[in-house]
Amino acid sequence: MSESPPTTPACYRHPSRETYVRCTRCERPICPDCMREASVGHQCPECVAEGRRTSRPVRTAFGGGAAGRLGYVTRALIGLNLALMVLSIISARGGDAVAGAGFGGLLGGSTPLTEWGSVLGLWAPLGPFGPQEGIAAGEYYRLVTAMFLHYGILHVAMNMWALWVLGRSLEATLGPLRFLALYLVAGVGGNVAAYLFSNPAAATAGASTAIFGLFAALFVIMRRLGRDTSTVIPILVVNLVFTFAVPGISIAGHLGGMVTGAAMALVLAYAPRARRSLVQLGGGVVIGLVLVGLTLMRTAALLA
């Protein structure tokens, strides 16, 4: 009795294709179109998908996603600021928005866009009995929009350079979502401080509130990681001196952003590992509620 010759294995997903390669995980035969490179040999598409579902995603020291190493949020924030700078120039048809009208050309003149979105407490352009403008008049969006608007090319250029330097490092350490939360909380916190302590008829804008928050956060996080902070302190001191020395800069906005950024960084850096995400979220909510309360108190005082 003669034996039948052995048959060549066929790909389990493409039965018409013969192959001698097997998936290193499930050992089913796979053709070249189904091969997926693995640490050892090749795997089939189903085993690769299953591995992705069961593998634990890589996290940073503070619970963030590893995608922060690519700096997508930092790039997006810079792009948004630059796009709004272009719109600001267009709204003013050139003029002071490009050349700058403040100290040494550092701070540009206002434009229709900055007048719409800057931090403004309360102002009645047509007199005490006319319509009012500002945050106290219900324009609370200004507490957010102001951190994306700038007075002049040099103003936005300096802030975006600082954001590029600080943002990539912090985003890689914290992860995209936590870094974005830090940036927004610091920016809004600085704007709330400007609303609280500045002349209600004076308009302020710029990403500096968030940038100062990033400076403070970098110091806090480096301390938490046990790294040397001797290079951060001089830069922070220089920026503080610059804040007090240059006319037209919102001292309250810069200091408020620094304090709020430091508070948010403390929440992110020192949250206990067991309930890290919950504590970080709760801490951010508490800071947000404090800012809301301070805003409402200031509004009540201005309208009294």
Task: Clarify whether 55 is annotated catalytic.
Answer: no
Name which of 212, 204, 196, 109 is nearest 159 in CA terms. 212
Question: Out of 208, 230, 250, 277, which one is annotated catalytic?
Answer: 208
Compute, in degrees rounded to 10, the torsion defined by CA atoms 118, 124, 125, 126: 160
Return the amino acid letter for 243. Answer: T
Task: Clarify whether 91 is annotated catalytic.
Answer: no
- Residues with active-site annotation: 208, 254
